[in-house]
Structure 1
Amino acid sequence: MNECFPDADLTGVPLLKHTIEPFEADFKDGIFALFTFILGFIFVRWVMFSWQGWGVTLFTLGYCGAITLYLLKKGVQIPRAGWFWLTAVLLTGISFSLWTNNGLEPWRSMFLFCSAVYWIICATGLTLLGRTSNWIGLDSINALFIIPFKNIRCQFKSLAFLGSNRRSEGRQILSIALGLLLAFIVGGIVLPLLLKADSGNFSKITNGILTYFQGMREDIRELFFNSILAIPIAAYLFGLVAGSAHKRGVFTFNKNTTTRAISALRVVPKATIYTLLGLLCALYVVFIGSQLTYYFSAFIGERPEGWLVYSEYARSGFFELCRIAAINLSLLMGVNILSKKPRRDSTALKILNCLLALLTLLLIATALSKMAMYIGVYGLSVRRFLPCLFMVFLAVICVSVLALQKWEFSIVRLSVGVGVVMLCMLCLLDSDGFVARYNAERYISGTLSSFDVGILYRSGPAGVDAALEVYEKTDDKILQSDLKAYLLVQQQLTAKASKQPLDDLQKAHARKRIAEFAALHPL
């Protein structure tokens, strides 16, 4: 048995199950089918083309509320993993109405979408091990593609059931919709006849209405376009949720046979594994030892000989780290899966795993010191802040590799949990505003030689407070002129967002502060 999957049994059924049972709709499915069309329309209208503002928050709240209520009404017992992912989705969605977070896009939007989909199979207990585990890749494929498309027609079946249902509520909803459609058709036929027989007063009323609708022509066209797009989106959403609730077409992957397939990959002799890891670790030790000045000069705040530009020195360290860390972590995963002798039975493999993880931690520490030196000279930006957090995340994985040599746990589950918590904190704590305030405080205190206005543009409205603070306390006329140009741009951009779904509290605050500033210093 593969020690990476301790809960799996090796006796099982085929890896892919192709049989699919019929979908039996009920009244709850019919009502939820209507709600999914509303959710699909809101998604197209407020989210799909912008991914900004309170529109995303309202959609997220409606999405989570409607699905949670539906699952509970269907008798689904939501496990702790489901509540964890629901919390992550809600916190990320709420952040859209608080902060613009330009520096986190598109990662924030991608995380919200993927976590909202993955939450469904966690809430319905359909992950292979019943929770987030080493099988998260297969679970994600199941949630994103297999379950929704296997149940893509279930929404129409539920609506048909609602229409044919004997309960008066179902008949009433569709009867009203049919009546509105027929009234619109008959009205279009009768209205021209009434206008011909009119003495004049009725035409005044209808002309006013027609003028109003002509002014709304573009809005009606957009409404129609959004409604068309909402149909496949609603079918996808209903297929995912209802398919998961009904357990229909969800058992494509079987953990027992998948584990057997992974175990069958254990074909590499232990001598090959030991030689590979041993030589690679020796290569790293020799390389680092021969370039101690290069790797450790950042710890004492000095550039090594031959490096004249801080930015090149820091970037070189970061990209080296990314390549080496990716190779090392991929190699560790590969050799522990392919090794004929399992890790738990091999002391030598455990030692080599620890050595490679420690060498990677050493490279992470030196790269972080380089980035710290770079920030000390040029200031902070989101593009410098995020790599630092990524390095910390890699360090957590390396420490987890060390711990895995003694204790059995899912390193993937731990990594995903840490990553989710870090992303949620980033979304809620306004990283763009933090960066702008950090640079402003250092410039005002004299520890930063220049203030980069370009970082403010990338921060969007998050940089308004910092720009106003620097403007009031600097005597540099050129810098003041650049700051006023930035504030003018933000005044125009935030004004366009006012009372629109892409507005948020940060934009509203920026509008207020800029208006107060413009009253004293015309832009």
Structure 2
Amino acid sequence: MMYPDYDAAPSPQPVYSAVDTVYAWLSLVLAFLFCQALPIAQYPLGGFLLILALYATGFIILRLKKLKLCPVCILSAVSSFVIGSSMLLTDTEFLMNLSLAYSLASYCYFLYAAFGNRIEEGFSDYIYIDFIKILFIFPFRSLGSIFQALSNRSTKRGSALLLKILIGIGIALVPTLLVFSFLSYDRGFTHILEDIFSFDFGNIERIFTSFLFTLPLGMYGFGLYRSSQEKVLKDRMTAQNCKEGLKKAQILPQSTALVAVFPVIFLYVVYFISQWRYYVSGFTGVLPEEFSYAEYARQGFFELCSVSVVNLVLIIGISFFIKRGKKESSVILKIITTLFCLCTLILIATAVSKLVMYIDFYGLTQKRIYALWLMVVIGIVFLVIALGQFLRNLKVVAVSLTVTVLLFSALSVCNVNALCARYNTDRYLSGSLESFDLEAMEELGDSAIPSLVRLSNSLDSEKDSELKRQIDALLVLEKWRFKNEDASVFSFSVPSAMAKAALEDYVVNAANPD
């Protein structure tokens, strides 16, 4: 039998509005500004302004799309502003980088949730699946959509021309950068360029590198926006599907769980009994003879980290892969999970007591604050897991994530470096700290300068003459550095401003001791 030939129906072409085209261009601009804001430790104000620009763009675009923001979107934005402000309030590079990473991830979630893509409304335990979609699925599903949006015929014809120009610049970047790198070794060549353009060509490679990464980052950002707008996988990844998938993963019988975890719990009991004196000494404040304070605290911290990871893996395994049968058997699994949480909490209590002893003897440092913060977070997470065994409606993942974000907000805005400097200075002036580690204070950056000025003014010239001389020499060098540095406005930070003010007061006091 003969069948007439029919042409296959053409697939519908994606439609891009003028707002989409505007956001596509803004994605490229924001990607370039992101590259220019790095490293964030050198341009803290630039990093914070980038976060403000991201959310301002997002709010305007969503307003033009006539979308209402859900409470979770608003909380996401507020948390980004609070944590992002730490880039101005602290000079701790580690925290500044974490704050920037959190703010960027939070903005991605803000866009994703604003278009109604969340697996479950409200505070959901499936938020980790949401972030998998946000970071690894959505951007790549629409990775090339930015080119169609930029060349949208419904907008101005100049968009296509600008796109071609941008692609041409991108192609020219690599050979131009290579040629410039080779020629920059010739001093005469660089002098001629500086005379012609009156431009600091020391940053030319940085600008070229920013252009080089602008297009990939812009494609990633707009891909997330486009996939969120189209609600990709909305019907495939629902709360019900996730529940059914997790239920199907529960393939191991409960007897397997009992056999697997009983030896571990037995070893914990034997270990706690054998090390009872070792653990109790942390609460009594008595250091075991075979340990130094540093070894005692480090051993407790790394023991805690190792055990916490093992226990968390076991708890996740019990939750995801063990079958749920009768009510009595479910109670047994809850008891096992609670025992693991209890063992971890005991280790946390002893590790904290050891670290407190260490701090009492040697003072505060960045790493000691980070370790203490991490132990508090781990303790709260395991406490929430234990409560979740008895409170049926408690959303363990959502509550744990919320508490972690709140604690990270507190850590970010408190200025860890300034806290260490004030604590150690107060302890030394009160006589409760035997020695003052000036090298450790130097590592705290600008945040330590106000405390060093206060310490120098408070020291007895005869009793602490050597320490005062070293501090004065350091402050003179810092004064010279501030006077001669050529910093841009985007390098502004609160610790730097406070350090400059403290040094000015110090010079006045030194010149006018009365």
With normalisation by structure 1, the TM-score equals 0.81
The answer to whether residue 397 in structure 2 is matched with residue 412 in structure 1 is yes
The answer (yes or no) to whether the contact 1:317–1:370 under 8 Å persists in 2 is: yes
**Residue 470 of structure 1: CA displacement?**
1.3
Deviations 1:426-480 (A, max 9, x none): 1122121111101110110000111112332222111111111111122323322
The match for 1:457 among 442, 450, 465 is 442
Structure 1 gaps of 5+ residues are 1-19, 182-207
- The root-mean-square deviation of aligned C-alpha atoms, in Å, is 3.0
- Aligned 1:236-315 pairs, distance under 5 A: 236-248=220-232, 253-307=237-291, 309-315=292-298
The match for 2:144 among 142, 147, 153 is 153
The answer to whether residue 5 in structure 2 is matched with residue 42 in structure 1 is no
The answer to whether residue 316 in structure 2 is matched with residue 328 in structure 1 is no
Deviations 1:45-64 (A, max 9, x none): 12356574110111110001
1:414 counterpart letter in structure 2: V
The answer to whether residue 339 in structure 2 is matched with residue 364 in structure 1 is no
* Number of equivalenced pairs: 469
Q: Single out whichever of 463-472 and 237-246 deviates more from structure 2.
A: 237-246
1:115–1:210: structure 2 CA closer, same or farther, 3 Å change rule? closer
Deviations 1:397-429 (A, max 9, x none): 121122111112321111111111111121122
1:50–1:435: structure 2 CA closer, same or farther, 3 Å change rule? closer
The answer to whether residue 507 in structure 2 is matched with residue 508 in structure 1 is no
The answer (yes or no) to whether the contact 1:33–1:238 under 8 Å persists in 2 is: yes
Structure 2 distance, partners of 1:209, 1:333, is 61
The answer to whether residue 329 in structure 2 is matched with residue 338 in structure 1 is no
1:177–1:240: structure 2 CA closer, same or farther, 3 Å change rule? closer
The answer to whether residue 466 in structure 2 is matched with residue 483 in structure 1 is no
1:270–1:224: structure 2 CA closer, same or farther, 3 Å change rule? closer
Q: Single out whichever of 128-137 and 208-217 deviates more from structure 2.
A: 208-217
The answer (yes or no) to whether the contact 1:343–1:350 under 8 Å persists in 2 is: no
The answer (yes or no) to whether the contact 1:78–1:125 under 8 Å persists in 2 is: no
Structure 2 distance, partners of 1:266, 1:103, is 40
Partner of 1:433: 418
**Residue 343 of structure 1: CA displacement?**
9.0
Partner of 1:389: 373
Structure 1 distance, partners of 2:404, 2:224, is 25
The answer to whether residue 407 in structure 2 is matched with residue 422 in structure 1 is yes
Structure 2 distance, partners of 1:21, 1:374, is 67
The answer (yes or no) to whether the contact 2:282–2:350 under 8 Å persists in 1 is: yes
**Residue 394 of structure 1: CA displacement?**
1.3
1:21–1:375: structure 2 CA closer, same or farther, 3 Å change rule? farther
The answer (yes or no) to whether the contact 2:138–2:223 under 8 Å persists in 1 is: yes
The answer to whether residue 63 in structure 2 is matched with residue 63 in structure 1 is no
**Residue 360 of structure 1: CA displacement?**
1.5
The answer (yes or no) to whether the contact 2:140–2:223 under 8 Å persists in 1 is: yes
1:31 counterpart letter in structure 2: V
1:446–1:210: structure 2 CA closer, same or farther, 3 Å change rule? closer
The answer (yes or no) to whether the contact 1:281–1:356 under 8 Å persists in 2 is: yes
The answer (yes or no) to whether the contact 1:148–1:239 under 8 Å persists in 2 is: yes
1:472 counterpart letter in structure 2: N
Structure 2 distance, partners of 1:210, 1:298, is 64
Structure 2 distance, partners of 1:286, 1:135, is 37
1:505 counterpart letter in structure 2: V
Which gives a bigger RCO, structure 1 or 2 (Cα 8 Å, sep 6+)? 1
Q: Single out whichever of 498-507 and 380-389 deviates more from structure 2.
A: 498-507
1:310 counterpart letter in structure 2: Y
1:297–1:71: structure 2 CA closer, same or farther, 3 Å change rule? same
Structure 2 gaps of 5+ residues are 1-10, 167-191
The answer (yes or no) to whether the contact 1:128–1:135 under 8 Å persists in 2 is: yes
Partner of 2:154: 165
Find the residue that maps to 2:434 and give its secondary structure: coil
The answer (yes or no) to whether the contact 2:194–2:200 under 8 Å persists in 1 is: no
Partner of 1:123: 114
% of aligned pairs identical? 26
The answer to whether residue 69 in structure 2 is matched with residue 78 in structure 1 is yes
**Residue 133 of structure 1: CA displacement?**
3.4
**Residue 127 of structure 1: CA displacement?**
2.7
The answer (yes or no) to whether the contact 2:449–2:475 under 8 Å persists in 1 is: yes
The match for 1:230 among 196, 214, 220 is 214
The answer to whether residue 84 in structure 2 is matched with residue 93 in structure 1 is yes
The match for 1:400 among 377, 381, 384 is 384
The answer (yes or no) to whether the contact 1:155–1:235 under 8 Å persists in 2 is: yes
Structure 2 distance, partners of 1:124, 1:100, is 36
The answer (yes or no) to whether the contact 1:86–1:119 under 8 Å persists in 2 is: yes
Find the residue that maps to 1:501 and give its secondary structure: helix
Find the residue that maps to 2:441 and give its secondary structure: helix
The answer (yes or no) to whether the contact 1:244–1:250 under 8 Å persists in 2 is: no
The answer (yes or no) to whether the contact 1:268–1:340 under 8 Å persists in 2 is: yes
The answer (yes or no) to whether the contact 1:30–1:159 under 8 Å persists in 2 is: yes
The answer (yes or no) to whether the contact 2:28–2:218 under 8 Å persists in 1 is: yes
With normalisation by structure 2, the TM-score equals 0.83
Deviations 1:344-390 (A, max 9, x none): 66222222222221221111111111111111101111211111111
The answer (yes or no) to whether the contact 1:336–1:343 under 8 Å persists in 2 is: no
Structure 2 distance, partners of 1:21, 1:127, is 26
1:62–1:492: structure 2 CA closer, same or farther, 3 Å change rule? farther
**Residue 209 of structure 1: CA displacement?**
12
The match for 1:354 among 338, 362, 365 is 338
Q: Single out whichever of 490-499 and 70-79 deviates more from structure 2.
A: 490-499
The answer (yes or no) to whether the contact 2:421–2:448 under 8 Å persists in 1 is: yes
**Residue 521 of structure 1: CA displacement?**
5.0
**Residue 267 of structure 1: CA displacement?**
2.3
1:480–1:85: structure 2 CA closer, same or farther, 3 Å change rule? same
Structure 1 distance, partners of 2:326, 2:411, is 36
Deviations 1:89-115 (A, max 9, x none): 111222212322345254333323333
Deviations 1:195-234 (A, max 9, x none): xxxxxxxxxxxxx999442645556665454334322222
The match for 1:30 among 8, 16, 21 is 21
The answer (yes or no) to whether the contact 2:281–2:288 under 8 Å persists in 1 is: yes
The answer (yes or no) to whether the contact 1:71–1:245 under 8 Å persists in 2 is: no
**Residue 319 of structure 1: CA displacement?**
0.7
2:216 counterpart letter in structure 1: P
Structure 1 distance, partners of 2:304, 2:509, is 49
**Residue 153 of structure 1: CA displacement?**
2.1
The answer (yes or no) to whether the contact 1:343–1:349 under 8 Å persists in 2 is: no
The answer (yes or no) to whether the contact 2:139–2:221 under 8 Å persists in 1 is: yes
**Residue 293 of structure 1: CA displacement?**
0.8
Structure 2 distance, partners of 1:123, 1:252, is 19
